[in-house]
Structure formats: structure tokens, C-alpha cells
Amino acid sequence: MNTIKLKPLKLTYGVKEEMNNLRTNLLFSGADIKVVMMTSCISGEGKSETSYNLARSLAELGKKTLLVDTDLRKSALIRVLDNGSVQNGLSHYLSGQSTINDVVNKTNIPGLNIIFAGRLVPNPIELFSKKLFEKTIENLRSVYDYIVIDTPPLGMVVDASVVSRVCDASILVIESGNIKRKFAQRVVNKLKELKCPLLGVALNKVDRKKAGSYYGKQYQKYYGKEEKRKREK
Ligand SMILES: Nc1ncnc2c1ncn2[C@@H]1O[C@H](COP(=O)(O)OP(=O)(O)O)[C@@H](O)[C@H]1O
Ligand SMILES: [Mg+2]
């Protein structure tokens, strides 16, 4: 297993605070929620950064956490976090070119391990559809307290639906002001169809000046007070 030193990623106070809220939602969701997928409507909304921040935040609490980048089409996570020391990733493993030990990286953050995407491929579905992916996540469940899975956007490609089969719950990242309500609703419905319960919505890239006090409530538990309030209306 490689050990890598992650490039420092600066967290603003607001994001750190909200990441702790998201983490709390997860911790209080019960022991059967272990594998969580991060998705969004389109790319660039901040899934990868949110996945990493959540995984790091869980590790900092002493939870053994694995971050898996399944965005085999367009991943940028490795460029953000690694200085070029990592060679192989998930696509190498799933195509039989690497062992699992070769692709799991220990990091300088105690308790946080990462599997990067590996070489980007044009049709990842074939790799995810193999039993190997499902079996591997199943085995890793006994090694880690939490597995955070970064996926491609659910509103754009079907890879995330295939990946959702191994997940217990999902978190939807929405870029503030950039996604139409109807589009978000479609993705929420899709998650319901996939039977991947929505654990929370992370409203990302909120303009702090415009948002004012709302900023403090960026990450809300989806079926929490907001939902109840709407139902009671
Ligand atoms: N809270 C945020 N505020 C400002 N920029 C952000 C925030 N979260 C992510 N970004 C930036 O947005 C871009 C896309 O983020 P990324 O996590 O790669 O999105 P995705 O994985 O959904 O495609 C990156 O350049 C990232 O640095
Ligand atoms: Mg990404």
C-alpha cells in the first residue's frame, strides 16, 4: 500500500462547519449506513471536493474512512490532492491490471485512505457492471467504518446509477443558483427509483455575502425539518 502526502486543501470556516453537520447527519443515520455516494445534477458542482471534505472530516473523528473516486470519465480529484506520486487507480484494478493493495493509498491524514480513479476510460459501465466492483466494496465494508464514493453526475451519465447499487445512501451536491428546481427534482426522483435514500443535500458555492444568515444552514438533513415544514403547509 502506498502512502501519499495530500496537497493541502484550504477549508473556509463555513465549509468546515457545514461539513461537520453533514458528518453528524451521517453518524446519526445508524450503523447500517456505511457506504455513501456523492452525486449531483451536472459536473463542476463540487462533488469531489465535498466527498474529500466529508471523508477527511470522518477520519478526523477517528472513523476509518475510504474515499473512492468512481468518476472514471472526468475525474479531477487526483490533480487536486496528489503531486503525481500515484500511478494506478480504480480502472486499473477493475480491469485486472492492479491488485487492490496497489490502488489503496494511505494518506498523511490518519484513518483516511483513498482509491483514485486511475486511467480515465470511455465506457466505465462495463467495469462497474462486473461482479468484482460489487464484491470489492462488500469486502471493504468490514475494513472501514465509512466508505465515501465520489461519482459522476447522476443527471448526465448513467454510471452513478450502476454505482448506487453498492451504496446505502446518497448525498446530493447542488451548486447554489445554478440548478433549476425541476432538474434537481428529477435527480431526487431517480435516487428514489434506485432505492438509494437521500441522506442530505449539500448546497455548495453559496455566496456568503448574498446568502447572509442562510449560509449557516447550507447542509440540511433532507428529510428533516424543512421537509416536514413543507408537508405541513
Ligand atoms: N464551496 C466551494 N466554493 C468555491 N469553489 C468550489 C467549492 N466547491 C468546489 N469548488 C470548485 O469548483 C470546481 C469543481 O469542483 P469539483 O469538486 O471538482 O466538482 P465535481 O466533482 O462535482 O465535478 C473546482 O474548481 C472546485 O475547486
Ligand atoms: Mg468530480
In sign, the C-alpha dihedral spanning 107, 86, 128, 162 is positive
Residues near ion ligand 2 (CB < 5 Å) are 47-48, 71
CA 105–ligand 2 middle distance (angstroms): 18
Encode the chain (233 residues) as per-residue pLDDT tens digits.
Answer: 899 999 888 877 778 877 888 899 999 999 999 999 999 999 999 999 999 999 999 999 999 999 999 999 988 899 999 989 998 999 999 999 999 999 999 999 999 999 999 999 988 999 999 899 999 999 999 999 999 999 999 988 899 999 999 999 999 999 988 889 999 999 999 999 999 999 988 888 877 666 544 443 444 444 434 444 544 44
pLDDT tens-digit map of 144-172: 999 999 999 998 889 999 999 999 999 99
Residue ID of nearest Cα to ligand 1 atom 14: 44
- Residue 210: per-residue pLDDT: 61
| Amino acid 211: pLDDT | 55
CA of 232 to the centre of ligand 2 (A): 36
Any atom of ligand 1 within 6 Å of the Cβ of 25: no
pTM: 0.88
Judge if the beta carbon of residue 152 lies within 6 A of ligand 1.
Answer: no
Whole-angstrom distance, CA of residue 97 vs CA of residue 214: 48
Edge-first strand order for the sheet with 146-150 is 2-4, 104-107, 112-115, 65-69, 146-150, 35-40, 169-175, 198-204, 219-221
Binding site membership of 44 for ligand 1 (Cβ less than 6 Å): yes
- C-beta of 47 in contact with ligand 1 (< 6 A): yes
Q: Which atom of ligand 1 is nearest to the CA of 76?
A: 18
In angstroms, rounded to a whole number, what is the distance separating the alpha carbons of residues 131 and 94? 10
Per-residue pLDDT of 63-88, as tens digits, reads: 999 999 999 998 889 999 998 999 89
Cα(38) to ligand 2 centroid in Å equals: 9
Q: Has domain 2-232 been given CATH number 3.40.50.300? A: yes
pLDDT attached to residue 148: 98
Q: Residue 207's pLDDT is what?
A: 73
